């Protein structure tokens, strides 16, 4: 694990985060700059730069990200009303932490993406 990676350091508990769910392979925590009433980041505990790299290296862990996101949505009470799962891949997409992760957004109607 690269120790200069913010999400690796959160997974190692070197940087505090408000954890809402954890499995053997994933960690879910509240985003520090939420874009919706519910905004949780779900990371793979292993380090891969993005979702495609994770899918190539450990497809089962990619499955775990989605399963964890579903558990988070249920726990947050947004599973019935709806929620968005979002991967940003690369700088042009807005990825700022190059560690495989997805965002769980919900708690209000979400507009169309531009």
HSE-CB for 45 with a 13 A CA cutoff: 13
**How many contiguous H segments (helices) and E segments (strands) does the chain have?**
3, 5
Catalytic residue among 39, 47, 99, 101: 101
**Residue 31 near residue 39 (C-beta atoms within 8 A):** yes
Calpha distance 109→49 (Å, rounded): 30
Give the number of other CB atoms < 10 A from CB of residue 77: 11
Instruction: Decide if 99 is catalytic.
Output: no
> What residues are annotated to the active site?
101
């Amino acid at each position: 694990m690269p120790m200069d990676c913010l999400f690796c350091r959160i997974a190692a508990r070197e940087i505090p985060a408000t954890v809402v769910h954890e499995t053997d392979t994933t960690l879910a925590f509240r985003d520090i700059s939420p874009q919706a009433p519910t905004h949780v980041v779900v990371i793979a505990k292993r380090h891969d730069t993005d979702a495609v790299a994770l899918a190539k290296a450990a497809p089962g862990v990619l499955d775990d990200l989605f399963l964890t996101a579903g558990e988070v949505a249920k726990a947050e009470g947004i599973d019935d009303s709806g929620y968005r799962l979002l991967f940003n891949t690369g700088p042009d997409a807005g990825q700022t932490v190059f560690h495989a992760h997805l965002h769980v957004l919900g708690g209000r109607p979400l507009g169309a993406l531009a």
